[in-house]
Amino acid sequence: MTAPIVSFYRVIESGLPPARAGRSAGGTLPVRGVRYCEAVTSASAFGWHIFPPFGFSLMWDGETVAWATGDEWYRLDEAAQYPNGLDRFDSAAPSECKGFCPPWLLRGVTPGIVQVWTGIIVSTAPGWSLLIRAPANLGRSWGFETFEGIIETDRWTGPLFVNLRLIATDTPCSFPARYPFLQVQPVPRSVYGDEVLNSAEIASIAAMDENDWRGFHETIEPLLAREGVAVDVVANRLDPRPDGWRVLWADDAPCPECGDLCKRRALPIGRPLVYVGDGWSDQCAALVADRVFARRALAEYFDEHGLPYERFETFDDVAAALS
Ligand SMILES: [Zn+2]
């Protein structure tokens, strides 16, 4: 087995362990978003969810912070430890590290800031850092903000913690045990270095070339015409208006199979049928094809269901397989 990219070591083992974040953001995304918006589902699924070891609440009165795990509130004077956290840490730690268990809650220097340790120690493979942030696309309390941070856990194995800024006063902010309160995302260090971040271009729309325009539905047809390709294009249209773009659905009746707007109804009647796809919205339609070429989300779906398909990266692969 190859070494993992991320290792989560649980010092405090109550509660839910870290888990791969799901594409539906814990079931909170609208069904249509899950089916059609690859951008939202990919971002939701990027990383791991971190849960608190037990449910707790924080409250700020504008000056001091109080915490509770039940009905009783305690003032956070300096720091609060996990119950039994010190014992568990010391029994595993080598002698030079004993006594250095991070506190569960640490009051920040700035009023209303609280540092929360997740009860987890984390390390990453060389070259990999972790971006710690609030869960992507998951609704949450407006009573606090989560600071985002990138930690270089390949250089130092350390506690996975986060800083919260309590905003609401005299209102409890609750962190339920079954609800992720953080999302941890793996990022190669090179991605946030100057070489990448200084490499951005800001230009006028006139600078967009053919390749830039190719992604827009309204330009598929001129491109096909230029290449001399005669095919029927079935696509939704965009209606650009000053107040935003509207999607005009090619077919706005629901599919009788899956009950949603779906590509299945647009399939040609002739057989055999070859289906080439890569997304969530290809699933229902691909199921009726005689031969399926899939990558990304569609390949994952076929893998999950043990269905036969052929993997492809580019249309050259498909053309080679079909010739
Ligand atoms: Zn369908």
What average pLDDT is seen over the chain?
87
Distance 277 CA to ligand 1 centre (A): 14
Distance 251 CA to ligand 1 centre (A): 12
pLDDT above 60 for 215: no
pLDDT given at position 64: 93
For the chain, what are the domain ranges? 6-193, 205-322
Q: Average pLDDT of 103-127?
A: 94
Which range has highest mean pLDDT (73-82, 88-97, 212-221, 278-287)? 73-82
Q: Average pLDDT of 205-225?
A: 68
Quick: pLDDT tens for 77-90.
Answer: 999 998 888 888 89
pLDDT given at position 28: 66
Quick: pLDDT tens for 254-303.
Answer: 888 888 777 888 888 888 999 999 888 789 999 999 999 999 989 999 99
Distance 271 CA to ligand 1 centre (A): 18
pLDDT given at position 173: 93
Of 26-35, 63-72, 128-137, 250-259, the least confident: 26-35
279 versus 122: the higher-pLDDT residue is 122
> pLDDT category, 30, cuts 50, 70, 90?
low
Distance 263 CA to ligand 1 centre (A): 7
Distance 300 CA to ligand 1 centre (A): 18
pLDDT above 90 for 124: yes
Distance 244 CA to ligand 1 centre (A): 28
pLDDT above 70 for 114: yes
Distance 282 CA to ligand 1 centre (A): 9
pLDDT given at position 103: 93
Distance 287 CA to ligand 1 centre (A): 9
Distance 264 CA to ligand 1 centre (A): 5
Distance 166 CA to ligand 1 centre (A): 45
Report the alpha-carbon distance of residue 200 to residue 224 in Å, rounded. Answer: 30
Distance 144 CA to ligand 1 centre (A): 41
Distance 81 CA to ligand 1 centre (A): 52
CATH architecture of 205-322: 3-Layer(aba) Sandwich (3.40)
Distance 136 CA to ligand 1 centre (A): 27
Of 17-26, 49-58, 74-83, 188-197, the least confident: 17-26
Quick: pLDDT tens for 169-182.
Answer: 999 999 999 999 99
Domain 6-193 -> CATH class: mainly beta
Distance 95 CA to ligand 1 centre (A): 61
Of 59-73, 77-91, 153-167, 238-252, the least confident: 238-252
pLDDT given at position 250: 66
Distance 32 CA to ligand 1 centre (A): 12
Distance 16 CA to ligand 1 centre (A): 35
pLDDT given at position 279: 84
Distance 183 CA to ligand 1 centre (A): 32
Q: Average pLDDT of 232-237?
A: 74
Does pTM top 0.85 for this prediction? no
Q: Which amino acid is it at 159?
A: P
Cα 104 to Cα 162, 246, 280, 282: the distances in Å are: 11, 48, 40, 45
Distance 214 CA to ligand 1 centre (A): 27
Topology agreement, domain 6-193 and domain 205-322: no
Distance 305 CA to ligand 1 centre (A): 16
High-pLDDT (> 90) share of the chain, %: 52
> pLDDT category, 27, cuts 50, 70, 90?
low
Report the alpha-carbon distance of residue 50 to residue 5 in Å, rounded. Answer: 16
